[in-house]
Structure 1
Amino acid sequence: MRMRVHPTFPVRTRFAPSPTGVIHLGSIRTALYNYLLAKNTGGSFILRIEDTDQKRKIKGSEENIYQSLKWCGLIPDESPMIGGPYGPYKQSERKDIYKKYAEILVDKGLAYYCGCSKDRLNDLRQSAMKLKPPTTVTYDRKCFDKPSDKSLGGIIRFKSPVTYPSITDLIHGTKNIQPQYNVDDRRYDDFVIMKSDGLPTYHFANVVDDHLMKITHVIRGEEWLSSTPKHVALYEAFGWEPPQFVHIPLLTSLSDKKLSKRDGDDGILSLRDTYLPSALINFIALFGWAPARDSGQSFDETMDLNTLIERFSLDHLTRGNAKVSKDKLGYFNKRHLQSLDDKEFTKLCEDVKSKYSLQGEVGDFLKKILPHITTLDEISNYTHLFKPIYTSDVPENCREVLLKILNDEKFGLDDMLKISSKKDVFKSLRYALTGLPKGLKVPEIVDLLGPQEIEKRINNAIHYIDNL
């Protein structure tokens, strides 16, 4: 049985994306788990933009991060947009901070300047791969003898320990992860912490920022587990207490391959026209977590953000990869559409009116439509019900059939079919009720509109025909 690891104090978590593309499902899951942990414990959720790799930065990516979080309802307590006591919250604006802490390590003899050329470093990498066994630990510490010689260049390397410290992960337990060395040709894992452009590498900035921003828990993807010994070694070099680490499993397709765009790993904002944010968050939350329940007890998986905050616990995170199926997202979307509160429904009405250029009140019709749809884009199949647009392409005998229906005064479909042929009734009714020759089946339209609206639209159609 796993020990309980969920904190009982207000934590500080962070989401630290790089602006190198749009936010996808995996990134939002990382943000969500950090957000849920912070809010469940009464703590703080921080957004930090890790933009030290300027070559990979893509225009519009930073705005995509802000908009994706906002649409999902994951509002940071501190961020580049909001500010906070531990800013700046963009790494590109923290260059002096990193330089200061890199020099501290240099002064302690735990880091050193390196002036090796790219050609020499490439030769070292290639020769290391030819060793038996090969190794990814490549540097020979040529520059270590001059640790304080800034004339060697702007690159600073960390003097890695002979043996990396073991790490503790709240899901995976204690791990002893060491690089593979070649004993006959000893190399060193002295990774770069400051680049020649004066910006830090990911590993160094990550550690410095998490410490200075007082991050207590780091929830991130499992792919970063192998880098954690480097981070812990840096914490120990500074004499700092590392945060608690939680490495969550990969997202995979149903065929157990790493999730890709082909498998449905879409940019989050591309889903706005199809799904409710509450449904998407519900869907993503269950990728590696499930709420507590008694053995054999079933539970309702449909949860809004407040319910997720209340029920979230690190104790119930899973280790295995999470398989993603969009069918489940459709299920949650249908459930959330049926349980919209007044504020959410009003927002949906406004969105529908704006998207489809509708005028007047749409709420009554929208309420009738929602039980019949799974995704938001299916509303387009019903927009002609909000307001019919008549054309001169009037079905044969339409006026006469509509008058007979009015005179019957019952407006039940069975009664309508008694007064004329089925073909004439369906064509004429479809024209009067929608203005279109095709669309939903007439019985569905009749059920959705009801007698009063049917009478109103038949009269409007007759009036239009009379004025052609």
Structure 2
Amino acid sequence: MNSVLNNRVLPVSIVNLCRTFKTKVPRVRFAPSPTGYLHLGGLRTALYNYLFAKSRNGSFILRIEDTDQTRKVEGSVKALLKDLKWAGIECHEGPGIGGKYGPYVQSERLPIYQEHISKLLENGSAYKCFCTERRLNLLRRDAVRSQRIPKYDNRCRSLSEEDISEKIGAGSPYCIRFKLSSDCSAFEDLIFGGIAYDVSLNEGDPVLMKSDGYPTYHFANVVDDHLMDVTHVLRGVEWQISTTKHLLIYKAFGWTPPQFGHLPLIVNADGTKLSKRQSDVKVEDYRNNGIFPLALVNYITLSGGGFDHVPGAGVRLKSMDELAEEFQIDRISSHPSRLNPDLLQECNRLEIRRQLQDDQLSQTLVAKLQDLIKHTYPSQTLDIEKEHIKTVLNWAVARISKIEDLVSSKFGFLWILPSNNQMDIDKDLLHRLVEYLETQEVFEEPILKDKLREFSKNNNIKFPELMKILRSVLSGLSEGPGVAEMMHLLGKSQSLERIKAVVR
């Protein structure tokens, strides 16, 4: 059976080659560069690889691709590991974890790359290039001026052994390039289907080994994926155009390539490209802004497909085990994944509700909110008893998307005991109100509202005026939830105590 794209037929041999991996226990990898923070796209790649491995009892490998030493950011690997752990993504092999296929940092694998580049030089698949940066820049400028595709002209391919020896003897620096063939390489993308592309039409021979002895991405990732026995490569769609080039390198070594699947772009709700410069793409920012890890994970899966989700059926928060059980590569959409911020808020709300239903998690949630309250109102007299906080959380879960919302000024009345010493209030009225409320056995919002309306009528005070007085007594604030709702939330004991404080 052949696969077709753009009127090109994928050779049966390549399709069959990919099928050989279907019977193997999968080994997948996440291979970021240590150039800064982990962003949402990187987390999505790591998550999908992890879920694919988890769903098939495979292995998830973390590999650090730091061959471009000029872009390396100190501390980024440590931060990356922290972000992955926070998100619930477990690495089976990698830096600091171990495994029989290490080292898992590319800068520690230089002898391996040197050994393998020698093989390509020996079999004639690669050659030494002595072209200077100045010459390459001139080629680029000339191509742009002539409206041609800028690419290397493969000049050093034709150097004789005598020329090469002379240049090496003179100490001329050189890199090592791969000889691209004009064959139209093809592969079956696990997400996009058949892909066929003649890379030599648009590119000159690519560099495999730089003059500083470090490999390029194209070379190192092929060598590492083969030596680490990677069976499936799930990565961003930006690498799709390079895959045919990678297949040629596999062919030059005589190796069987893994299967490839390319994840579509993540874009904003309006379809615009998600920029790394935006403040909402760093995983660290989501964590610092009160988003729970499981909420962020579900948010990502709702945006890109790959899971059971019926449109219009509402959002259901799923555990990592459930996501792994549901995950299917052929369900991933090839269209850009549009982010809907409302879904993130709903996912976080559902996670708060889930934690409240678990005794241990709810205790942690209460303790976290206690700390937030004390940090936000350090000089106030506070009511932060555990039962009070848990009652508030159960009430607030339908009104907030993160617990940090509960320490905003809008909800300050929940925690701050108001100072009523300066209030000019009819204390006799409040005394009668206390006696009246003490007889009420039910302190639910609708009943309270009716009772307060009845009290205002029987005591010749307008209902809005009574509400204004009570709001001031209970919270010291001019805004907030309705008074009956506030009293229900504070509870009978706390509400009466706050009123009595003024009566005394």
For the superposition of Structure 1 and Structure 2, which TM-score range results when normalised by the shorter chain?
A: 0.7 to 0.9
- CA shift in 2, pair 1:395/1:118, >3 Å: same
Structure 1 counterpart SS, 2:49? helix
CA contact (8 A) 2:126 2:176 kept: yes
Report how far residue 191 of structure 1 moved: 1.1
Question: Which residue matches 2:397?
Answer: 370
What displacement does 1:401 show? Answer: 4.3
Is 1:276 matched up with 2:292? Answer: yes
1:299 deviates by: 7.9
1:58 aligns with 2:73: yes
* 1:354 matches 2:395: no
Alignment of 1:387-398 (within 5 A): 387-391=415-419, 394-397=422-425
Report the more deviating stretch, 359-368 or 49-58. Answer: 359-368
In the other structure, the counterpart of 2:412 is 384
- Name which of 262, 282, 287 aligns with 1:247: 262
Structure 2 residue corresponding to 1:123, chosen from 123, 138, 143 = 138
Q: 1:178 aligns with which of 198, 214, 225?
A: 198
Instruction: Tell me, in whole angstroms, the C-alpha distance in 1 between the residues paired with 2:54 and 2:424.
Output: 64
1:328 to 337, 343, 346: 343
| 1:166 aligned residue | 186
Shifted more, 168-177 versus 137-146: the winner is 137-146
User: CA 1:51–1:393 in 2, change beyond 3 Å: closer, same or farther?
Assistant: farther
Q: Deviations over 1:283-318 (max 9, x none)?
A: 111333143589x99686542322111100112112
- Could you tell me which residue of structure 2 aligns to residue 448 of structure 1? 489
Q: SS in structure 1 opposite 2:304?
A: coil
Paired with 1:7 and 1:36, the residues of 2 have a C-alpha distance of 16
Give the % identical residues.
37
Using a 3 Å threshold, how does the CA distance of structure 1 residues 347 and 243 change in structure 2: closer, same or farther?
farther
- Please list every run of 5 or more consecutive structure 1 residues that lacks an aligned counterpart in the other structure: 183-187
In the TM superposition, residue 436 of structure 1 has moved relative to its aligned partner by 4.1
What pairs up with 1:21-420 in 2 under 5 angstroms?
Answer: 21-131=36-146, 133-141=148-156, 144-146=159-161, 151-163=171-183, 165-179=185-199, 181=201, 189-260=204-275, 265-272=280-287, 273-292=289-308, 301-340=316-355, 341-342=357-358, 343-357=360-374, 359-361=384-386, 362-381=389-408, 384-391=412-419, 394-397=422-425, 399-408=427-436, 409=438, 410=440, 412-417=448-453, 418-419=455-456
Distance 2:482 2:414 in 1: 16
| 2:306–2:330 Cα contact (<8 Å) kept | no
The alpha-carbon deviation at position 397 of structure 1 amounts to 1.3
Letter in 2 for 1:380: V
Cα pair 2:303 2:340 within 8 Å, conserved:
no
Whole-angstrom CA distance in 1 between matches of 2:134 and 2:276:
36
Q: Distance in 2 between matches of 1:301 and 1:135?
A: 50
| Bigger shift: residues 307-316 or 46-55 | 46-55
Q: Which amino acid aligns with 1:451?
A: K
How many Å separate the matches in 2 of 1:380 and 1:116? 63
Q: 1:10 aligns with which of 15, 20, 25?
A: 25
1:367 Cα deviation from its structure 2 partner: 2.0
Report the more deviating stretch, 209-218 or 431-440: 431-440
Q: 1:112, 1:156 within 8 Å by CA — same for their partners in 2?
A: yes
Q: Is the 8 A contact 2:294 2:319 kept in 1?
A: yes
Contact 2:414 2:490 in 1 (8 A): no
Q: Counterpart of 2:90 in 1: which secondary structure?
A: coil
SS of structure 2 residue aligned to 1:395: coil
Q: Post-superposition shift, 1:196? A: 2.3
Cα distance in structure 1, aligned partners of 2:178 and 2:106: 20
- CA distance in structure 2 between the partners assigned to 1:449 and 1:218 by the alignment: 55
C-alpha RMSD of the superposition = 3.3
Deviation at 1:30, TM superposition (A): 0.9
Task: Give the 3 Å change call, closer, same or farther, for CA 81–155 of structure 1 in structure 2.
Answer: same
- 3-state DSSP class of the match of 1:236? helix
TM-score, length basis structure 2 = 0.80
SS in 2 for 1:14: strand
CA distance in 1, matches of 2:414, 2:187: 60
Deviations 1:79-133 (A, max 9, x none): 2132222222222222222222222222322222222211111122233444565
Residues 1:270 and 1:311: Cα distance change in structure 2 (over 3 Å)? same
- Between the aligned partners of 1:334 and 1:349, the Cα distance in structure 2 is 15
Partner of 2:379: none
1:253 deviates by 2.5
Using the TM superposition, name which of 276-285 and 324-333 deviates more.
324-333
CA gap of 1:414–1:45, structure 2 versus 1, over 3 A, is same
Higher mean C-alpha deviation, range 418-427 or range 54-63: 418-427
Q: Match of 1:166, SS?
A: strand
Task: Give CA-to-partner distance per residue, 1:213-235, whole Å, 9 cap, x none.
Answer: 22111111111100111211111
Q: Does the aligned pair in 1 maintain the 2:199–2:244 contact within 8 Å?
A: no
Q: Which runs of 5+ in 2 are unaligned?
A: 4-14, 376-383
